[in-house]
């Protein structure tokens, strides 16, 4: 099957720091780099590199030639990446000495994806395909409603978190992916316990404590692999993309999550977002060495 990702495309401006600045403080960085990112892009690349058949639906501005070239270099199909009259999305990322990050994003073209590109993607989809969205683009709720009506399996990553946006899309999902903080915030907004969020399947990532998958009354947990973190940027996106690729290939949930945990461990051991995402062969080698 195919994973259709209605996703953000960002140019990431990464500043490495000894520590995050305090309010009103100006700091000199240690290093600066530019890379490809965006939650949708990261998830699409992770799924593709893990063996999934992926289609990215997105947009860049007139300044987007570099981003297009990077997407092509990662092997993604650009047929449904539109050119629009808005700046290409970008992110300013601070990474501290412990590998933690702070991120500010500008949506730009990611919030102006043409309806025609979304419609073309849906028209080319088949029942059983995946429809993947995040809270960094326009058209998430409407496209997810249509995708589910067409028999696609719908997945939403509720980040950057907004309780109202997550609540609006929740009734149209097969799978919701959140981190622990987002799960707690959404549960509080809805007045339910985090484990009782009203969605058929729920994936909660817990950083260094792994992840848990809840499906009805069943629960499956996977521990994280113990590695030294260099940069956590993109780790959650990598986990989600590899999970979907594993499920799409026919793996059971525990096996898909274990592969995703391995991919996340490899990701945090490298600097950057898209460039830190491992290949299927690297995941295989990591798991073999960890057996």
Rounded to an integer, what distance in angstroms lies between the CA atom of residue 154 and that of residue 61?
A: 28
DSSP state for residue 100 in the 8-state scheme? -
Q: Which tokens is 91 given?
A: 């992110």
CA distance readout (Å), 165 to 37, 113, 146, 170, 187: 22, 18, 17, 9, 13
Q: Which tokens is 8 given?
A: 């953000």
Task: Decide if 44 contacts 241 (C-beta within 8 A).
Answer: yes
Which entry of 12, 129, 237, 248 is annotated as an active-site residue?
237
12 part of the active site: no
Task: Decide if 92 contacts 103 (C-beta within 8 A).
Answer: yes
Say whether 12 sits in a helix, a strand or coil. Answer: strand
Rounded to an integer, what distance in angstroms lies between the CA atom of residue 212 and that of residue 194?
A: 12
Q: Identify which of 187, 216, 203 has the alpha carbon closest to the alpha carbon of residue 253.
A: 203
Task: Decide if 177 contacts 157 (C-beta within 8 A).
Answer: yes
Catalytic positions, please?
237
């Amino acid at each position: 099957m195919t994973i259709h990702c209605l996703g953000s495309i960002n140019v990431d401006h990464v500043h490495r720091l000894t520590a995050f600045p305090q309010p009103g403080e100006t700091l000199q960085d240690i290093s600066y780099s530019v890379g490809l990112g965006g939650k949708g892009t990261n998830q699409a690349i992770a799924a593709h590199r893990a063996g999934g058949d992926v289609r990215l639906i997105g947009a860049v501005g007139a300044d987007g030639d570099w981003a297009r070239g990077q997407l092509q270099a990662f092997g993604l199909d650009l047929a449904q990446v539109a050119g629009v009259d808005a700046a290409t999305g970008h992110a300013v990322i601070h990474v501290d000495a412990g590998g933690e990050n702070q991120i500010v994003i500008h949506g730009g073209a990611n919030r102006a994806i043409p309806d025609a590109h979304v419609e073309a993607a849906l028209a080319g989809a088949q029942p059983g395909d995946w429809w993947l969205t995040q809270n960094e683009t326009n058209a998430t709720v409407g496209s997810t409603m249509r995708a589910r009506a067409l028999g696609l399996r719908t997945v939403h990553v509720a980040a950057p978190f907004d309780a109202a946006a997550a609540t609006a899309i929740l009734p149209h999902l097969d799978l919701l992916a959140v981190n622990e903080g987002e799960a707690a915030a959404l549960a509080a907004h809805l007045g339910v316990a985090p484990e009782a969020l009203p969605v058929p399947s729920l994936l909660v990532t817990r950083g260094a404590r792994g992840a848990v998958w809840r499906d009805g009354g069943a629960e499956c947990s996977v521990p994280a692999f113990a590695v030294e973190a260099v940069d956590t940027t993109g780790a959650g996106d990598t986990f989600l993309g590899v999970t979907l690729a594993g499920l799409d290939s026919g793996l059971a949930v525990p096996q898909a999550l274990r592969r995703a945990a391995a991919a996340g461990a490899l990701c945090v051991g490298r600097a950057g977002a898209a460039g830190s995402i491992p290949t299927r062969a690297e995941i295989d080698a990591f798991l073999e060495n960890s057996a």
